Amino acid sequence: MSAAVYAALAKALGGGSGLLTGWVSMPDPLLAGLVAREDLDAVTLDMQHGMVTTASAVLGIGQVALAGKPSIVRIPVGDFATASRMLDAGASGIIAPMINTVEDARRLAAYTKYPPVGERSWGPAIALGMTGFTMTDYLKQANGLTVTLAMVETRESLAVLDGILAVDGIDGVFVGPSDLSIALSDGGEVNALAPGVSDALDHVLARCRSVGKAACAFATTAESARELRKRGYDLIALGNDTIQMRTGIRAMLGVAKG
């Protein structure tokens, strides 16, 4: 992976860029490479709800890099140390779930950014080899070339959204619409397309725009991804590998069975 590919996500993100990321939950690194060869801007490896392990994530980052794309890793809840490890392995971005307080956001930034912004420990051996940066250049540039996204998916995070966005080192937020629908309905439903979720998406976008940070979200359908791009979202996950596989199989079966 060239330095340009590594930096592509951070440089393109913002201003309603409408980037599309694949979303891989299965642990086979070859699948990540396969997805990366489609017309996507990035590939996200899911360590939270997916079966992606530390080892398969590291290998997946390499497969995505071979396809000439930047990778993003969604870490498990509260596992900020893994965020540092994935950046060391060459990931260009981190998505952290359940960032419900300003203190959560500060801890996330501490693990993903080098001083003076954060407290990320030095050890990017794989990232250095993949990008070709010298140690000095990587240290100077990594904070600006990697993207740290805090997930907004609860009433608590919506209530302190401005505080989360104000944290130095948080480059934007990523809306999880399914969890948000559960929270907004007080556990009544899982509906990523609920009116309350749509209103929250508008609110998040407006607050992000007001401070020049990235607004990102997961889309459960191609139609909702298109709508998020029209709204001006910067990064949208185009479903996940399971959704895409089922959609493709059903489409092919429909044709085959007439």
Positions marked active-site: 49
Measured CA to CA, the distance from residue 92 to residue 101 in angstroms comes to: 24
Which amino acid, 1? M
Provide the H-helix boundaries in 13-150. Answer: 29-36, 54-66, 80-88, 102-112, 125-131, 135-145
| C-alpha of 178 from chain center | 15
Measured CA to CA, the distance from residue 256 to residue 163 in angstroms comes to: 53
Do strands 42-46 and 235-238 pair parallel, antiparallel, or not at all (unpaired)?
unpaired
| Nearest C-alpha neighbor of 50 from the set 70, 64, 32, 67 | 32
Provide the H-helix boundaries in 67-101. Answer: 80-88
